[in-house]
Every structure is written in structure tokens, then in C-alpha cells.
Amino acid sequence: MPPPSLDKSESGRLLNDARTAQGVTWAELAAAINRPLVWTVAALLGKHPVSAEDATTICAKLGLGPEVQAALQRQPYRIPEPGLSSDPTIYRLHEAVDVYGGALKELIHEEFGDGIMSAINSRCPSNGGRTRAATASSSPSTASSCPISGDSRVAGSLR
């Protein structure tokens, strides 16, 4: 009987442990496979399948075995994780949807008509640090969520 396969969540934990132990950044992994940063993090944590070539590259870079490589390539179950919405960072994203959700819905319907959007195939745009919709702060009392253009401090604002 073959050994049980590694699930995508566990492979994501193993990958993240190896990444942090070796001091490798998510940006370095994204560059290694020439993929967008946010997509790469989501995929490597188990939310998207990764091509065989990309899985090989990532696992070689981090010294991970064939079990992780195989798990990265499998189709994920895209279901909510219990307790995730109570995480402070994730909760703030829910607040952002509360604030901007109606506007985004209007823009989607104006551009594409009455339909549905895919969160799985959506994009998280970056304007090279020139515009931000939210800032991160080590102090909850100083965090904000307002668009600011021309701010060169964005790259260093996340702690």
C-alpha cells in the first residue's frame, strides 16, 4: 500500500518552515518561478496548483522532497479555514471589503455587466508602491486604510 500523500495545507506549512529557516523571502520564491508575488504565496500555501516545473524549482531551492513537490501540483479544495476570519489581519481585509465592496461591485457590473467575478482568477494590482489602499502598522491605533498617491514610504511601511 502506498504511503499517504501529503495534503496541500501540510505541504504549505513544511514549505513555509523551510523558507523561514533558510531566510528565503516570498519575493525570492516568486522571482525564481517568474510569477506574481501574491499568487505565489497563495499557491505555495496550498490555494492554487503549481506546475511541475515550478514545483521542482521551489522544492530544489528549499531542499524539499517529492512529497511536497507532488502536493504543490494537486488541485486544492478552496474552502474557508476555520478560525481564519478571526485573525486580526484577515479581519481587517473583511473591513476593507465592507468599505470598498459596494464600489468594486459597481465597477465590475459597469465593466462586465450582470455576472459574477472569480476570486480565484482575480489580480491584486500593484502600482510599484506609488498607490496604496491600506497601510500596516505595528500599532493598531496608527493603522489606516485610505488611498494615498505618490507615497514612496509604502515599501517600508509593512512591519
For residue 58, count other CB atoms closer than 10 A to its CB: 25
Please report the domains of the chain, with CATH numbers, ordered by start residue. 8-73 (1.10.260.40), 89-124 (no CATH), 127-159 (no CATH)
Give the cell for residue 152.
Answer: 514612496
Which are the contacts of 32, defined by CB distance < 8 A and separation ≥ 6?
A: 57, 58, 61
pLDDT confidence of residue 137: 43
Q: Which one of 86, 111, 118, 138 is the catalytic residue?
A: 118
Written as tens digits, the pLDDT of the chain (159 aa) is 555 689 999 999 999 999 999 999 999 999 999 999 999 999 999 999 999 999 999 999 999 999 999 999 999 987 887 888 888 888 888 888 888 888 888 888 888 887 777 776 666 665 555 444 444 444 444 444 334 344 333 333 333
pLDDT confidence of residue 52: 98
Q: Which one of 67, 92, 145, 157 is the catalytic residue?
A: 92
pLDDT confidence of residue 72: 97
Give the cell for residue 145.
Answer: 486604510
Summary mean pLDDT of the chain: 79
pLDDT confidence of residue 69: 97
How would you label 1-16 residue by residue, b for 16+ Cβ within 10 Å and e otherwise? eeeeebebeebbebbe
Q: Which one of 28, 53, 95, 106 is the catalytic residue?
A: 95
132 annotated active-site: no
pLDDT confidence of residue 131: 44
123 annotated active-site: no
92 annotated active-site: yes
